[in-house]
């Protein structure tokens, strides 16, 4: 449209001039910048503008603030328990957690056996309207990051529900055991791949939690699978949204570890000899998707260890994933992946050497680097970077009680080895540019 103003507020003004309504009703925006634009517009428009609460979430801003007020630390686990009680999810008749525990995270960390084949997500054939949009995108934005074809996402509520129902039947039974697992050329494992539908409003969060609970009650899925799935929606999704709105706009500027290194080009190209990074970035380009461990413990972990600028990392995550909205992307990046908020969201940095990736995947067996080596030409870069990260940030992190044992291990190392590890890491970081 040649008359398009280029902004939502501008288009709202144009629509008001054309249609002459008595008032305007909008759902609150999912991004602080845009929400402010609409709040400011309330005073500038000649007609009433009513901003309504977003019904795609279960905890309002006021409810989260009531829960958070006066707490020294904001931890998802305790918020999650309150949400379970409020909505009566996975509780026994006495109001206690089903199975005697609130959280079965310890039962969610199995490595995927080589002979276990995960199911594919439900893939929808594009309809005529979707095909027209794809052709337009290819024509106007063909040079942007990502592969447009094949496109198999659902585009309406009915399709999104079919995709979720398929997951409950085919993926959820094994999701609990293997939700942290990764495998070469296996982008989805047992994950639902429905966050893009949920965040766009095609699915309702409580409906999904009830369906997972019902599957457990029928005996179709184990408790650790139902609880693990519900925790991501009723716990984590609601919690990070609460953090975002409570802490913005300053939250976007946080950089507690003073990380300033530019984002390397291979985040956009996928061209790196680190196989785990190539796998995560390559599937991101193809599918606009990576599951939470790939985002946190591969691409996010590398960004943390390498001291990459949080703003640049956040821009990347926001650009490349189909489910990325700032309310969910920013806390997960700044708080979980990069510890840029100084511990507001997570109790410690999720820093790890190559050992973690090797334990949870088969990536290392396909890599030119040796995950068991820390020094030498074939040493896994994650190993030296891990110890260098701890050394560089010791003044900030040394008082963290969850890192005390790791620092004692570092201090017991031979001095020459510590120096060699840091030299190795610095040489690698110099080459990133």
**3-class secondary structure for 166-230?**
HHHHHCHHHHHHHCCCCECCECCCCCCCCHHHHHHCCCCHHHHHHHHHHHHHCCCCCHHHHHHHH
- What local confidence, expressed as pLDDT, does residue 106 receive? 86
Q: What is the mean pLDDT of each run of 10 residues along the chain (433 residues)?
A: 92 95 95 95 92 94 95 94 97 95 89 95 97 97 94 97 98 96 97 97 97 98 97 97 97 97 97 97 97 97 98 98 97 97 94 97 98 96 98 94 94 96 96 84
- What local confidence, expressed as pLDDT, does residue 22 receive? 96
Which token pair is 225? Answer: 């699978």
Which token pair is 220? Answer: 């179709």
Strand 24-27 to 49-52 pairing: parallel
Biggest CA-to-CA distance, the chain? 76
β-bridge mates for residue 379, sequence order? 370
- What local confidence, expressed as pLDDT, does residue 433 receive? 73
Cβ count within 10 A of residue 255: 16
In this structure, what are the phi and psi dihedrals at residue 129, rounded to the nearest 5 degrees? -65, -45
Residue of 208, 237, 219 lying closest to 332 (CA atoms): 237
- What local confidence, expressed as pLDDT, does residue 108 receive? 84
| Residue tagged 């629509």 (tokens) | 15
β-bridge mates for residue 360, sequence order? none
Which token pair is 233? Answer: 């929606």
List all residues 6 or more positions away from 115 whose beta carbon is below 8 Å from its beta carbon: none
Residue of 209, 163, 198 lying closest to 30 (CA atoms): 198
User: What's the rounded Cα separation, in Å, for the pair 7 and 1?
Assistant: 13
What is the per-residue burial (b if ≥16 Cβ within 10 Å, else e) of 195-214? bbbbbbebbbbeebbebbbe
pTM above 0.85, yes or no: yes
């Amino acid at each position: 449209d040649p008359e398009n103003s280029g902004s939502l507020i501008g288009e709202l003004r144009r629509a008001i001039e054309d249609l002459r309504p008595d008032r305007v009703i909008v759902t609150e925006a999912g991004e602080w910048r845009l929400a402010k634009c609409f709040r400011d517009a309330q005073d500038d428009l000649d007609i009433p503008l009513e901003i309504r609460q977003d019904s795609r979430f279960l905890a309002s801003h006021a409810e989260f603030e009531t829960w958070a007020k006066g707490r020294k630390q904001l931890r998802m686990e305790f918020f999650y328990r309150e949400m379970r009680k409020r909505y009566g999810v996975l509780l026994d008749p006495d109001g206690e957690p089903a199975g005697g525990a609130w959280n079965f995270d310890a039962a969610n960390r199995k490595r995927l056996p080589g002979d276990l084949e995960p199911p594919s997500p439900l893939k929808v054939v594009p309809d005529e309207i979707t095909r027209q949009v794809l052709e337009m995108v290819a024509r106007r934005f063909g040079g942007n990051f990502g592969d447009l074809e094949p496109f198999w996402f659902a585009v309406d509520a009915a399709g999104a529900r079919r995709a979720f129902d398929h997951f409950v039947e085919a993926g959820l039974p094994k999701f609990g055991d293997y939700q942290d697992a990764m495998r070469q050329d296996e982008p989805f494992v047992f994950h639902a791949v429905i966050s893009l539908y949920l965040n766009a409003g095609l699915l309702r969060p409580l409906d999904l939690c009830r369906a997972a609970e019902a599957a457990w009650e029928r005996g179709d899925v184990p408790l650790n699978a139902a609880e693990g799935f519900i925790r991501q929606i009723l716990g984590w999704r609601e919690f990070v949204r609460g953090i975002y709105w409570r802490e913005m706009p300053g939250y976007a500027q946080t950089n507690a570890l003073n990380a300033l290194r530019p984002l390397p080009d291979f985040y956009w190209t996928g061209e790196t000899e680190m196989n785990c990074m190539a796998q995560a970035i390559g599937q991101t380009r193809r599918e606009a998707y990576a599951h939470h461990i790939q985002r946190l413990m591969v691409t996010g972990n590398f960004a943390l260890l390498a001291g990459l600028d949080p703003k640049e990392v956040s821009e990347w995550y926001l650009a490349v994933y189909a489910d990325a909205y700032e309310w969910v992307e920013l806390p997960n990046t700044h708080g979980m992946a990069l510890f840029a908020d100084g511990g507001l969201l997570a109790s410690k940095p999720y820093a790890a050497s190559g050992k973690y990736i090797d334990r949870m995947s088969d990536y290392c067996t396909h890599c030119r680097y040796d995950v068991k080596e820390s020094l030498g030409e074939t040493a896994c870069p994650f190993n030296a970077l891990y110890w260098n990260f701890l050394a560089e940030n010791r003044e900030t992190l040394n008082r963290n009680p969850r890192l005390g044992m790791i620092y004692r291990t570092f201090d017991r190392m031979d001095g020459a080895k510590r120096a060699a590890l840091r030299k190795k890491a610095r040489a690698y970081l110099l080459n990133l540019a």
